Chain A
């Protein structure tokens, strides 16, 4: 009997200690100040820039304390755990998973605060803010921006006597240049003209440029439309028909590197990716590179990148949290992003500002206005609540496209259409 009672006491202590640990005390705001938490991902430089921006916010709102929660790895899981534990950060950095949260009522709609403050979304952020909206509700303000842009090696273009890429290029110009720029010696490719399009923003941009896409405006799946199929066929042909792009196998042979590294090595004439490849390109001093807006086909089209700032529906201080994110995404609040060369800011006024355009982004002069020029071509990315599952559908179905020379593009996109319809339908 004694043994049992001791065991019960132990379990009792354990359970009560778990409960006590579970319900930590709420931060007391005895000094009249509001305390907010703000979760971010990224590297040490990113953290430093956010800190600098929060210092500016503090000057404007001395009564709001914002504590930065820096999550360098496994961001999604940690934020999910915080939300599930009812300890959600008041302000969250968000990207593709924005509507995974918004659809589960974890983000506060910002409409009323926006109306109150008279913030003009379109004027400040361009069309890109729509990516963070769903069913008429705005769930985040765009904070960091940029989009898919073209990186090209000027020396390789000069050597081939070709004109540099620009926003008026069509797929034909792209393909012709890629062919000229692919150099084969003894049956081995020494230099690739084009990077291909395995990564989702890449093939997706081609679909939208061709008037196709993944979802139409009403949310119907259109990935097996003739326009989408034609676009995908073009991408696949750069690998196997024209052989101007390195296949996954070629890249594995080169040590499993990606297009950004291949470009920095000077073995790739044209890459298209986001802002971050500037630092990879800068890491090689002799690389003579520049950037340009994306090419087009039936219409222009590029995929916006970056992240937004949203307010948790659990927050007890939504109004204050909104004030902070409105400031952080304003011209003043965005400037440290430029000063520290961290990223392309989402605020289009900053993107077109002298500070941004005259910044020494590279050792040589580059076409920085590419970012501002790209804003008009930005597509609305299908950031559906089931985004991660949709990516898995792409990955599984497209494996054959990238690995198998004889893959039937139409059949694969038909199957993808079916899988996506099932995913969105249920």
Chain B
């Protein structure tokens, strides 16, 4: 409300003080009406947010200081859950696994989807077919692709190890091996890069042609055009993919639940499946809530770091760099 008033006044008047008072009277009626509509329109979201996000969040924060077992009345236990958490070997193992998965799969997905998007932006025959093919895996539900991966990753009969055996490499028992099981999930993440790819493809196609033309006149190579024009222009989309990918990876659940259940011996277990087990299998709601809050803080910190770093590498056309 204030911004509208001010901008109107500043645009109109040389002498802001008397005009401002008048402006408020005139604007406020229309603005009031508009405001009412604003709240009516956002009400469904607001109700949903308060009821299904903010409410449970506050509840889980309170519960994280209790020993609630779902059924009997919770007892306040202070910081006990958090203290136990930091001494819980399994927790540190799942945190390590989650970081391992995120730190490899997120950058790899972005690099691969960027490369694919660049190739699919070329003007060649049948390009629409290829775009469809590479996007197709995104349409397959995680449950289904997880089942397919069980076969692809089978120790001797799976496609990957059969392929490796052509070169005399004896592939590992992917999902059963404590080391390689982590990479199996990275494969699965890469299999779904089509989603990122489509966004990047759209961004690449939106890069103004005249920028490339003028660079060509200056004798820029394909390489330079890609790194000095394409990448900076699409950097907001890369930024978006990075943030969303990071949040998604830190919260990986379905594929683990289906493929390995976190095994063998927690070597593929991650934070959210561990949280789920504590909450719904071990009846430790309080403890699970404390895991949720630690995860929330981890995600906040990573997201903040990326947001802070964005001023260095993300370029907005409308923005004036200082």
Contacts and interface: CB of A to CB of B under 8 A. Distances in A.
Contacts of B277: 388, 392
Contacts of B155: 249, 252-253
Contacts of A84: 70-71
Given A3-B1, A18-B51, A399-B264, A389 B151 contact: no
Interface residues of B, number: 36
B50 interface: yes
Interface string A392-426: 10011101100100000000000000000000000
Given A14-B51, A77-B280, A255 B151 contact: yes
A388 B50 contact: no
Interface stretch (B35-43, B111-119, B130-138, B297-305): B35-43
Contacts of A83: 70-71
A176 interface: no
A105 B154 contact: no
A403 to B, nearest CB: 6
Given A3-B35, A14-B47, A252-B176, A403 B264 contact: yes
Interface in A233-268: 248-249, 252-256
A303 to B, nearest CB: 21
A114 interface: no
Contacts of A285: none
Nearest to A386: B282
A106 interface: yes
Interface in A53-101: 76-77, 80, 83-84, 100-101
A10 interface: yes
Contacts, number: 87
Contact of A106 (B35, B71, B177, B266): B71
A363 interface: no
A253 B150 CA distance: 10
Contacts of B71: 80, 83-84, 101, 104-106
Nearest to A7: B39
Given A386-B282, A400-B265, A403-B264, A252 B173 contact: yes
Contacts of B151: 255-256
A220 B106 CA distance: 47
Given A392-B277, A399-B264, A6 B173 contact: no
A48 interface: no
A83 B70 CA distance: 8
A184 interface: no
- What DSSP secondary structure best describes chain A's contact surface? helix
B35 A388 contact: no
A141 B245 CA distance: 50
B236 interface: no
Nearest to A188: B156
B263 A399 contact: yes
Interface string A155-187: 000000000000000000000000000000000
B265 A396 contact: yes
Contacts of B39: 6-7, 10
Contact of B175 (A10, A252, A392): A252
Contacts of A252: 150, 154-155, 173, 175-176
B157 A253 contact: yes
A10 B155 CA distance: 58
Given A6-B39, A249-B155, A388-B281, A14 B50 contact: yes
Nearest to A248: B176
A392 B264 CA distance: 11
Interface of A: 2-3, 6-7, 10-11, 14, 18, 76-77, 80, 83-84, 100-101, 104-106, 248-249, 252-256, 386, 388-389, 392, 395-397, 399-400, 403
Interface of B: 1, 32, 35-36, 39, 43, 46-47, 50-51, 55, 69-72, 150-151, 154-158, 173, 175-177, 261, 263-266, 277, 280-283
14 contacts: A6-B39, A7-B39, A18-B55, A80-B280, A80-B283, A83-B71, A249-B155, A252-B154, A253-B158, A392-B281, A392-B282, A395-B263, A396-B266, A400-B264
Given A106-B71, A249-B156, A252-B173, 11 more contacts: A77-B280, A104-B283, A105-B71, A249-B155, A252-B150, A252-B155, A252-B175, A253-B158, A256-B154, A388-B277, A399-B265
